[in-house]
Amino acid sequence: QVQLVESGGGPVQAGGSLRLSCAVFGNTYSSYCMGWFRQAAGKEREGVATIDSDVSTTYADSLKGRFTISQDKEKKILYLQMNSLTPEAIGMYYCAAEYLSYCIGGVARKSEEYKYWGQGTQVTVSA
């Protein structure tokens, strides 16, 4: 069994930064795909960024250059560094994981194709 626990969300002013973390607990494997998703109120969950065990990354086009996904393999923690935040970033952020050789589809990979999910961490950006 795998458990994902997100943290690091909270309120921030526009232009500010936040770093989200996702700790992985339980049985893990050497090949995996992990992603961050965002869900705004009343909207569907959308992919933000992905990273796989070979450290290949993909990003939503609108976030390139401002968001960075990374991982600490030894500590089993996934990160999402978010800079220059705007109110459009408001939402619940989830990390997800699936054991694959790579992230098939990259950031376009659908949420239902991930088996493991965290409970989410809320990000609020004030103008």
By the 8 A CB rule, do 104 and 35 touch? Answer: no
Tens of pLDDT, residue by residue over 85-102, are: 999 999 999 999 999 888
What gap in Å lies between CA 29 and CA 45, rounded to an integer?
26
By the 8 A CB rule, do 39 and 92 touch? Answer: yes
Tens of pLDDT, residue by residue over 21-73, are: 999 999 888 899 999 999 999 999 999 999 999 999 999 998 989 999 999 99
